[in-house]
Amino acid sequence: MKRISRLSICLILCATFVMSTAPIYAEEVAETNVTWEQQADVLYINGTGDMVIDFEYITQIPWYGIRNEISKIVVGEGITYISDSAFADFRLAKEVVLPNSLRTIGPAAFITCTSLETLTLPYKITEIQDGAFVNCESMKAITIPGSIIEIADDAFYNCYNVSIVGVHNTYANKYAKEHNIPFYAGIGPSDEILVRVDNKYVDFDQPPAIVNDRTLVPVRAIFEAMGISVDWNADTRTVTATRGNTQIKLTIDSNIMKKVVDGVETSIEIDVPAMILGDRTMVPARAPMENFGASVRWDGATRTVIIQD
């Protein structure tokens, strides 16, 4: 969905008070791709992927009508994006639980949640969009992990007492300084090594590992995140990655990586060979990616491999 300006946020607030607030209790409707359930004073939202809310008016959001009965919101695992104004005007909500799958909080998602005091964001979230927490006047602390790379200037507009708890020397730390928000280095970097390709975190079924000061990543997930096809030869224990006219060949336990461009093969010595850890083939993050033309750097503050393809 398109981002909204501060004027749009104000219009949303006005709509909250002047439009019909007749509740809609349908469990699933055509205008949204998520399901919802109320249990006592808790609202549960479940689904997969980016949340879609496609209504003309905020008052038509199915769970909007029960907003004054809810003190806790639980967003289910699998949801990656909280849609525009999804929980606008939930004034009694004191607690929000967010899933590890979440990557983005959309515009005005929690606007005027005036009872919300603290919030912890999951460690792979990347973005907080325009006006996400406008008028959350009771908010005292929000924990923002080192994975975040963008926060809108007006994300915390009218949150007069908010402070940011995060990782020292990260984007959240810089944002707090630029917006005169108190910052406390109250958390450390993730225990897991993170890998980001073009500002999108890669999910692995087996976490990356550091061997001899080099980061190894599961081969298929990282190459496919870059649009590179992968083949495995069990007889030779060789991974072949192909994109365009370039091939990279990595053989388990060999420190020689072979690069083939237009049929011409060259051998490149690498510090750490491809290897099998657990039941996954792991390859070094830097050498193969750079030979496909990507830039690779290590962010020690957040324990993140950052790849720009």
The rounded distance, in Å, linking the Cα atoms of 148 and 154 is 16
What local confidence, expressed as pLDDT, does residue 25 receive? 39
| The pLDDT value given to residue 206 | 86
Query: 219 lies in which domain range?
Result: 194-308
| Residue 212 pLDDT | 86
- Specify the number of domains making up the chain: 2
Distance CA 260, CA 119 (A): 50
User: Considering Cα of 98, then 103, then 106, then 108, what sign does the dihedral take?
Assistant: positive
Mean pLDDT, each 10-residue run in order, the chain (309 residues)? 44 43 41 92 96 90 96 97 96 97 97 97 95 97 95 97 94 96 89 89 89 89 92 94 94 94 93 89 91 92 90
Classify residue 204 by its DSSP letter: -
Tell me, yes or no, whether 175 and 288 share the same domain.
no
Number of Cβ within 10 Å of residue 245's Cβ equals 9
Looking at the fold, whether 166 and 220 belong to one and the same domain comes out as no
Q: Could you tell me how many residues make up the chain? A: 309
Q: Are residues 261 and 288 in the same domain?
A: yes
Token code pair at residue 66 = 């029960």
**Structure token digits, residue 175:** 């944002």
Verify that 99 and 152 share a domain, yes or no. yes
Hey, what are 162's tokens? 């908010």
Is 161 in the same domain as 223?
no
User: What is the reported pLDDT for 54?
Assistant: 85
- Is 73 exposed, middle or buried, given 0-12, 13-18 or 19+ CB atoms closer than 10 A? buried
- The CATH number of whichever domain residue 30 belongs to comes to 3.80.10.10
16 membership: H or E segment, kind and range: helix 6-18
Specify whether 203 is located in the same domain as 162.
Answer: no
